[in-house]
Amino acid sequence: MNKHDLVYNDYKQYEIDIEFMKECNKDFSMFGDSFCHRFKFDNDYGASVIKHYGSYGYEEDLFELAVLFFDDKGQSHLTYNTPITNDVVGYLTNDKVLELLEQIKNL
């Protein structure tokens, strides 16, 4: 079964780390279709959205999301102290990922 990539047209302007995405996709391609996306919003929060072998939801063609925070040097760190979640969130449909991206953008 082919896995589907994220459809996120309204968030393309916030996408970052294209090289990370290429490396991630290459690293996990031996297991099948894999997708990695990173976003950064003006409030210094962002998200990592993945679907690859081992991620929560991969077998069901669903996504996993982690909330990121960007420090003064622009480095991203997973953060678990937001109203969004205190962990990664798995088993997400495309629509649910978009809802969470909007919530993170509005933090």
Average pLDDT score over residue span 37-58? 94
Beta bridge partners of 77: 69
Per DSSP, the chain holds a count of helices (H) and strands (E) of 2, 6
Distance CA 81, CA 21 (A): 25
Average pLDDT score over residue span 71-92? 94
CB 106 within 8 A of CB 18: no
Residue 18 has pLDDT above 90, yes or no: no
80 vs 30 pLDDT, higher one: 80
Q: Identify the band that residue 27 occupies on the pLDDT scale cut at 50, 70 and 90.
A: low
| pLDDT number for residue 34 | 82
Those residues whose C-beta lies under 8 Å from the C-beta of residue 3, and which sit 6 or more positions away, are 32, 33, 34, 35, 51, 58, 61
To 5 degrees, how large is the angle CA 49–CA 73–CA 25?
30
| pLDDT number for residue 19 | 75
Q: Identify the band that residue 77 occupies on the pLDDT scale cut at 50, 70 and 90.
A: very high
